Structure 1
Amino acid sequence: MFTTIMVWAGSWIAMKALVSYIGPFQMTAARYLIGAVLLFGLLIILRRPLAMTPWKLTLLTGLTQTAGFQALVQLALVQGGVGKVSVLAYTMPFWVILFAWALLGDRPTARHGVGFVLAAAGLVCFLEPWQGLGDWFPAVCAVAGGLFWGLGTVLSKRMFDLHAPDLMTFTTWQMLLGALMTLPAAILVPHDPIVWGWQLTVGLAYSCLVATVMGWLLWLSVVRRVPASIAGLSSLGVPIVATLFAWWMLGERPTFVEVLGMALIMVGLWVVSRRPRARPQENLVQPSQHQEHS
């Protein structure tokens, strides 16, 4: 858990640092194409299955969790700061609740309603409508990125429940398909010329090797083991650490209203993501069911 938080918090700094050197769609395509190639190499070395996992869910996961999420947050970082974008993108657990209800039949509870209200208040603090919504574009892109990530998380959970694929094989194929679906935008959308240099090389190396290959394997291993509605718990510290990193490394000092919004969203995420305590009589009567869901 600690490793995942540090790896992905660092990736937000790398993504923000690279917006001056490469376009958002080019960054997304390059990051995941290189990551997929590296993972295919690992599959061969470790003699893991190479055949594509069930293609429909793999394709949908690649479209949402890889292409949609990453392209949108990278686009948000062009104008928005790391702290604001990362916190809004990590509203993902709220979207997981809604999609898990629609696709997996997991009904939300009153506790989830409280979390949604807190998050909505935090979102208003970030958007600051009393200021005229001048900074709405990166906020909308970040929230939309969280929505796509949430949908991809539920689709991943459905894949593991229905087909139990090899973790590394599934990660590799959804990453490759997501990168390929980003290529048209990387080629056709106008962008400034790519600025090659050590900054871009180092940033891509971290993004591909550490944040992509290691980070997504860690994340999907969490999704495979726990219910979709609480999968976001392990990622709760990422936007907080990313904001502190951005303050320290990039000089992005959050305002009081932004800190308030962040606190409201984080509390809402905690309320939504924490596992409810089992009642004592339930533990005695139905021990097998609790073991199945632990």
Structure 2
Amino acid sequence: MLVWSSAYPLIKIALNYVSPILLAVIRLVTGGIILTVYGGGLSYGKKEMIGGLINVALFMLFLNFGVMLSVNPALSATLIYTQPIFLVILSAVFLGKKPTILQLLGTIIAISGAIYSAGITGFNLGSILSLIGGLIWAIGTLYYQVFLIEKDIIKLNSFMALFSALFLLPFTPINFYFKFNISGILVAVIIGITAQAIGFIAWFSSIKQLGPFLSSSLSLLVPAMSYLFSFIMLGEVPTFQQLLGTAIVLLGVFLTIISQKINRALPR
């Protein structure tokens, strides 16, 4: 979780030198190559392409632009991690999965926390893009559950990263800027190595060793730790409203996660 927590302030730093789409391409190529070597190949096809466009290309755009325009990269992380809330809503609409009372409560709490956290400190374009990033992540997760669940996850992520980099390449002239700086380039590459490669490998390893429930619960530390890393790397001091809003959001998200755990444990 540490690599994903540190990724948000690192993205903010890299964006001082590299434009958002170019940064996404560098990250995806670096991480995609490492994952391909680690996984021993690629899992590709039309469904994988669509999954890549949603889960990686689109998500990466909203992530980078959201971080760039947010008052604090950790706030962007908090809003993006509303993904489980959107997933509950989408599953109810498209899969007919009726949400539990706990999930509904969690959704209301998380949305309230997001509005409070971003609204008090300035609900700007960065906040909106970050929330849309959470929605895109949820759509991609739903697509994966329906069409790609049987695929080798490492090989699938390898292909989606490399395909998304290729897809985004023609769009790099949009809002393009590049300030040659060794440190800036190094940070961009580090993001690819840590967040795109090591992060995913560690995530799937934790699911195997700890189980999906505990892994998902621990992932809620990402937004909280992002505030710490943003302070260390950028000197960004979170406001009381940001911290309280983040705590409310994470409480709501946790309720939706624990609801799934309880649901599976109930006798059928």
Q: Mark yes or no: TM-score above 0.5.
A: yes
Moved more, 15-24 or 194-203: 194-203
Question: CA offsets per residue over residues 17-59 of structure 1, 9 Å max, x none?
Answer: 111000111111121022223333344xxxx344x43421x12
* Pairs within 5 Å for 1:73-88: 73-80=63-70, 81-88=72-79
Superposed displacement of residue 179, structure 1: 1.8
Superposed displacement of residue 230, structure 1: 9.1
Superposed displacement of residue 86, structure 1: 0.6
Aligned length: 264
Of 134, 138, 142, which aligns to 1:146?
Answer: 134
For 1:191, the equivalent position in structure 2 comes to: 176
Q: Which runs of 5+ in 1 are unaligned?
A: 287-294
- State whether residues 14 and 185 of structure 2, in contact with CA within 8 Å, keep that contact through their aligned partners in structure 1: no
Superposed displacement of residue 215, structure 1: 1.4
Of 32, 35, 45, which aligns to 2:31?
Answer: 35
Superposed displacement of residue 139, structure 1: 0.4
For 2:62, the equivalent position in structure 1 comes to: 72
Separation in structure 1 between the aligned mates of residue 152 and residue 110 of structure 2, nearest angstrom: 35
Separation in structure 2 between the aligned mates of residue 179 and residue 234 of structure 1, nearest angstrom: 29
- State whether residues 80 and 134 of structure 2, in contact with CA within 8 Å, keep that contact through their aligned partners in structure 1: yes
Separation in structure 2 between the aligned mates of residue 135 and residue 227 of structure 1, nearest angstrom: 36
Of 155, 171, 181, which aligns to 1:169?
Answer: 155
For 1:25, the equivalent position in structure 2 comes to: 21
Superposed displacement of residue 72, structure 1: 0.8
- State whether residues 9 and 74 of structure 2, in contact with CA within 8 Å, keep that contact through their aligned partners in structure 1: no
Matched letter for residue 70 of structure 1 = M
- State whether residues 82 and 249 of structure 2, in contact with CA within 8 Å, keep that contact through their aligned partners in structure 1: yes
1:252 and 2:240 are equivalent in the alignment = no
Separation in structure 2 between the aligned mates of residue 186 and residue 120 of structure 1, nearest angstrom: 33
Partner of 1:107: helix, strand, or coil? coil
Matched letter for residue 181 of structure 1 = F
1:270 and 2:238 are equivalent in the alignment = no
Superposed displacement of residue 231, structure 1: 7.4
- State whether residues 153 and 228 of structure 1, in contact with CA within 8 Å, keep that contact through their aligned partners in structure 2: no
1:92 and 2:83 are equivalent in the alignment = yes
> How big is the alpha-carbon RMSD for the aligned residues of Structure 1 and Structure 2?
2.7
Q: Which has the larger radius of gyration?
A: 1
Separation in structure 2 between the aligned mates of residue 103 and residue 221 of structure 1, nearest angstrom: 30
Structure 1 residues 128 and 233: alpha-carbon distance in aligned structure 2, compared to 1, 3 A threshold? same
Moved more, 86-95 or 208-217: 208-217
Separation in structure 1 between the aligned mates of residue 107 and residue 162 of structure 2, nearest angstrom: 34
Of 173, 188, 191, which aligns to 1:204?
Answer: 188
Q: Which runs of 5+ in 2 are unaligned?
A: none
- State whether residues 167 and 217 of structure 1, in contact with CA within 8 Å, keep that contact through their aligned partners in structure 2: no
TM-score normalised per structure 2: 0.87
Structure 1 residues 104 and 178: alpha-carbon distance in aligned structure 2, compared to 1, 3 A threshold? farther
For 1:155, the equivalent position in structure 2 comes to: 143
- State whether residues 26 and 189 of structure 2, in contact with CA within 8 Å, keep that contact through their aligned partners in structure 1: no
- State whether residues 28 and 71 of structure 1, in contact with CA within 8 Å, keep that contact through their aligned partners in structure 2: yes
Separation in structure 2 between the aligned mates of residue 98 and residue 218 of structure 1, nearest angstrom: 28
TM-score normalised per structure 1: 0.80
Greater relative CO (CA pairs within 8 A, separation 6+):
2
